[in-house]
Amino acid sequence: MSAAFDDLPLAPLQPLALGWLARAGVEVAVLRLDLIDPLISGNKWFKLQGHLRLAHARGAPGVISLGGAYSNHLHALAAAGKRFGFATAGLLRGHPHSNPTVHDLQALGMHLHWLGYAGYRARHQADFWRPWQALYPAWHCVPEGGAGPLGTEGCAQIVTQARAQLAAVGWADYDAWWLAVGSGTTLVGLAQAEAGAHPVHGALAVPPGHGVEGEVEVLAPGTYRLHDASRGGFAKVDPALLAFIQASEAESGLPLEPLYTGKALLALQERVLAGAFVAGTRLIFVHTGGLQGRRGFA
């Protein structure tokens, strides 16, 4: 295993030109985590880096993790394994089938195991990993989505990367962050790095009431705001959302996908149109990636 996973590429910070932002006098710069790598895209490299360091330090022969059949996390992990020379195994939710993501996971050399739905629900149980540790001795196990302290620590680098590029968009400072939230790991990483200096707005891709709010409040109390961006369910896609994504892409050139980044930008539009931000507000929108998963909606 090579330690080249330490050389995290710089995500470009770019101005976002959209009529509804200009009319409200709100400025947005996008931190393009989707551009750091063609395969290890989005926030997932930031979340995985600490795990890969630990696996490397322990001489683990491979890394094992779990996710859904369109998982951006497993996709990034499989690509990292191929790139940096370690074996990977993925535990998938549901029953065996193929889609563009699963096809990539196999092509990238990941060992796949389908857990069904009940088997996947057992992932939080204390003895969940035991059979997998027996099957893959000494492999490093990464929790779902790369969550946990190693994940949040890596996401603090998102703040460093953005601050290093403010001059490039002509800003001396910014007022707040806006990003899509799944497990909340990335949001907590930003909020902890900011330590209250700038608020972090999280657009929830998962409906409220699934435990994310509680976890975030324990880890980063009082430094963030959560907004329901789920539109009735995780991965629920409606015509208004798809039309918004299409129009936004055509106008700004920023590619979006419907599960996270599209919903996050739409939730931002709702808040801006409601007058939540005064003219002159400067926001950093984190493009968390996920574009590989968009193929499932083509």
Which residues would be at the binding site for ligand PLP (CB under 6 A)? 42-43, 72-73, 145, 180-187, 260-261, 288-290
Nearest distance, CB of residue 77 and ligand PLP, angstroms: 12
Our CB check for ligand PLP shows the closer of 26 and 200 to be 200
What is the smallest separation between the CB atom of 220 and ligand PLP, expressed in angstroms?
A: 12
**Which residue lies nearest ligand PLP, judged by its C-beta?**
290
Q: What's the Cα-to-Cα distance from 85 to each of 40, 80, 110, rounded to whole Å?
A: 14, 8, 12
Q: Which is nearer to ligand PLP, 27 or 144 (CB)?
A: 144
Nearest in space to 62 (alpha carbons), one of 153, 7, 136, 144: 136
CA distance 62 to 59: 9
Q: What's 23-36 look like in SS3?
A: HHCCEEEEEEHHHC
Query: Residue 219, Cβ neighbours under 10 Å: how many?
Result: 18
Q: Which is nearer to ligand PLP, 62 or 189 (CB)?
A: 189
Cβ-contact 123, 46 below 8 angstroms = no
Cα atoms found within 13 Å of the Cα of residue 74, Cβ hemisphere only: 28
Least Å from the CB of residue 185 to ligand PLP: 4
Q: Given the structure tokens 């889609």, which residue do they identify?
A: 99
Question: 90 or 289: whose CB is closer to ligand PLP?
Answer: 289
Instruction: Tell the smallest beta-carbon distance from residue 179 to ligand PLP (Å).
Output: 7
The residue (of 1 and 51) whose beta carbon lies closer to ligand PLP is 51
Q: Minimal distance in Å, beta carbon 41 to ligand PLP? A: 8
